[in-house]
Amino acid sequence: KQEVTQIPAALSVPEGENLVLNCSFTDSAIYNLQWFRQDPGKGLTSLLLIQSSQREQTSGRLNASLDKSSGRSTLYIAASQPGDSATYLCAVTLVTGGFKTIFGAGTRLFVKA
Amino acid sequence: KAGVTQTPRYLIKTRGQQVTLSCSPISGHRSVSWYQQTPGQGLQFLFEYFSETQRNKGNFPGRFSGRQFSNSRSEMNVSTLELGDSALYLCASSPGGREDGPQHFGDGTRLSIL
């Protein structure tokens, strides 16, 4: 059974700091891994998608890596800003007939001005 | 391109009633997935539809059901509502083919059971 764990559960950093969010999963037979951002009371915004054959993806100040063999992914945020404050969720998608996505519990990030 | 649209945004029901939630995916997307989000359990997968067929389902009781129409719009139905069904229900769409793309989420329907 696939389980997704995110560490830390919460993080508070000063503005301008670089930071790393961690995601681990128990079964390496994934189809893809996606990082999302969720603001309070809102839906999820897709940040980065890494296909199982890829090692990393970059978008602006965000970089996500994937190591299937160790069951780990990291989301690197450079030069953090107060607007980055949100909950960040990691999700792995499996192919079992159709698609099935399992989410981690998220990391709540607070960036202090 | 319009995003994923979920209606209604908010809903209040009482125990024992039933409810239907609607999701309109991004144009051209054929896969629609539903999730339940609660503070205690986080985001949990309900089911996925593709071309009007349920391809996958999570571990929820039979009170939770869904369907997808020929235009890819999807509905989710919950019967005999319980207090524990209070949650944010999220819908996501993706192309759904062999080379699937990222899932795009709607803003959700917040369901409160009194």
Mutation to test the A interface, candidates B7, B43, B89, B109, most A Cβ within 10 Å:
B43
At residue B99 the predicted structure's pLDDT band, cuts being 50, 70 and 90, is: low
Cβ-contact B1, B102 below 8 angstroms: no
Chain B partners within 8 Å of A46 (Cβ)? 102-105
Of A25-34, A84-93, B13-22, B82-91, the one with minimum mean pLDDT is: A25-34
Which tokens is A14 given? Answer: 């000063």
At residue A109 the predicted structure's pLDDT band, cuts being 50, 70 and 90, is: very high
At residue A41 the predicted structure's pLDDT band, cuts being 50, 70 and 90, is: confident
A45 vs B: CB within 8 A: yes
pLDDT digits (tens, 9 = 90+) for A58-105: 999 999 999 999 999 999 999 999 999 999 999 998 877 677 889 999
Q: Residue B1: its pLDDT value, please?
A: 65
Q: Which of B53, B55, B80 is nearest to B68 (CA)?
A: B53
Mean of the per-residue pLDDT values of chain A: 93
Q: Which residues contact A21 (CB under 8 A, 6 or more apart)?
A: A6, A8, A11, A74, A75, A77, A88, A90, A107, A109
Q: Classify residue B9 by its DSSP letter.
A: S
Shortest Cα distance, chain B CAs vs residue A79, angstroms: 25
pLDDT digits (tens, 9 = 90+) for B11-20: 999 999 999 9
Cβ-contact A111, A81 below 8 angstroms: yes
Amino acid (1-letter code) at residue A88: Y
Of B56, B105, B107, the CB nearest to A99: B56
Query: For tokens 């999807």, what's the residue?
Result: B74
Alpha-carbon B50 to chain mean position: 13
Shortest Cα distance, chain A CAs vs residue B79, angstroms: 23
Instruction: Give me the mean pLDDT over the A42-70 stretch.
Output: 94
Mutation to test the B interface, candidates A54, A94, A99, most B Cβ within 10 Å:
A99
Q: Residue A97: its pLDDT value, please?
A: 67
Query: For tokens 């990030």, what's the residue?
Result: A109
Of B43, B102, B107, the CB nearest to A46: B102
Q: Cα(B49)–Cα(B55) distance, rounded to whole angstroms?
A: 6
Q: Classify residue A83 by its DSSP letter.
A: G
pLDDT digits (tens, 9 = 90+) for B20-66: 999 999 999 999 999 999 988 999 999 999 999 998 899 999 999 99
Q: Classify residue B89 by its DSSP letter.
A: E
